Chains A and B, each alone.
Chain A
């Protein structure tokens, strides 16, 4: 089975800190995604990547950046964490193609105080 692993289940940070969220997948998937999930707003796409060193903005990229130096790893970076970035962050991966499903990690619940 595909496994998508997120480095932390729970994370508490201070306003202004630089935060790194790590995601690793073990099935050689081309595509990787970062979503945030908030009550009443559902999953919103932050960034995605089609290939190593490639990245594309999703719907809400402001305040975030990403890094994909290796195919299996996709990192989400909060340059200067703010309280409105408190959320559940979900990483996902998929193969390239028109009918491929997403495989999600278990999520990281980030609290910014």
Chain B
């Protein structure tokens, strides 16, 4: 079955630094990979999607890379702010209509 691992359950960084979150997967080659943000007590909210033929995608302070050879995606938040503190989830689109999620990384940005 698909296995999706996200680096360390918790990540603490200083405000203004770049946060880098990792998503590694095995056993499949997804056509798409997505990143979501989840705040406590809320449902996940979509942030970015990257296709298998795209190496990098950017949106404001967010950047996602997708290396299908390494089976890895990196999610970067530059100039991090305390408001960026949340849990970040990666999700693989396996069939075009079925999504599998990693366990998430809890990011805390320290002022």
A40–B49 contact, CB under 8 A?
A: no
Give the size range of B's interface with the partner.
20 to 34
CA distance A104 to B89 in the complex (A): 13
Inter-chain CB contacts under 8 Å: number: 60
Q: With A33-B99, A42-B103, A59-B1 in contact, is A101–B46 under 8 Å at CB?
A: yes
Q: Mark B36-53 against chain A: 1 for CB-CB distance below 8 A, else 0.
A: 100001111110010100
A42–B101 contact, CB under 8 A?
A: yes
A102–B103 contact, CB under 8 A?
A: no
Which single member of A40, A42, A50 contacts B97 (CB below 8 Å)?
A: A50
The residue of chain B having its C-beta at the shortest distance from the C-beta of A30 within the complex is B97
A99–B42 contact, CB under 8 A?
A: no
Size of chain A's interface in residues, with CB distance under 8 A?
28
A98–B31 contact, CB under 8 A?
A: yes
The answer to whether the Cβ of A77 comes within 8 Å of any Cβ in the partner chain is: no
B43–A99 contact, CB under 8 A?
A: no
CA distance A44 to B3 in the complex (A): 12
Q: Mark B1-38 against chain A: 1 for CB-CB distance below 8 A, else 0.
A: 10010000100000000000000000000011010100
Instruction: For the complex formed, measure the closest distance between the CB of B88 and the CB atoms of chain A, giving whole angstroms.
Output: 12
8 smallest CB-CB distances across A and B, nearest first, come from A104-B43, A42-B103, A101-B46, A43-B101, A98-B96, A42-B101, A104-B44, A107-B43
